[in-house]
Amino acid sequence: MQSYTIGQAARLLGVSPDTARRWADAGRVKTHRDEGGRRLIDGRDLAAFSIELAGSGAGTGSGEEEPSYTSARNAFPGIVTAVKLGDVAAQVEIQAGPHRLVSLLTREAVEELGLEVGVEATARVKSTSVHIDRT
């Protein structure tokens, strides 16, 4: 399973590294240390926390995160929070800061990209289509 540094988690959650560090210090999200002593967050734990955070409204509008700019072609880096596989089709959900994006794609594409809960991915929105890139 993929793990994320505090800085990577902050970027995916749309907050400053200091905010992510405070949340980890307060025990809001579980961390562990790697061989080098860096604090890491398991991808599944980060995915669950991102859903909780988006539902609470925290991390949005607090003035701590970067302002959001949008255009017709947006890229939303985030973390995969759900994957539902059918025989041919699949549904993938990504939490990108306060934004939850859902994409319908082929099962084959999900398998080729290695998409699973806790994996970093970018949802690209063009008109009414959501495309997912594994990052």
Residues 10, 63, 3, CA angle at the centre, nearest 5°? 5
Q: Are 83 and 37 in contact (CB under 8 A)?
A: no
The model's pLDDT over 63-121, given as tens digits with 9 standing for 90+, comes to 444 444 444 467 888 999 999 999 999 999 999 988 899 999 999 999 999 999 999 99
3-state secondary structure of 9: helix
Complete domains list, the chain, with CATH: 3-56 (1.10.1660.10), 74-125 (2.40.50.100)
3-state secondary structure of 72: coil
Give this prediction's pTM.
Answer: 0.61
The model's pLDDT over 20-61, given as tens digits with 9 standing for 90+, comes to 999 999 999 999 999 999 999 999 999 999 988 887 765 544
- Nearest 5°: phi and psi at 121? -155, 165
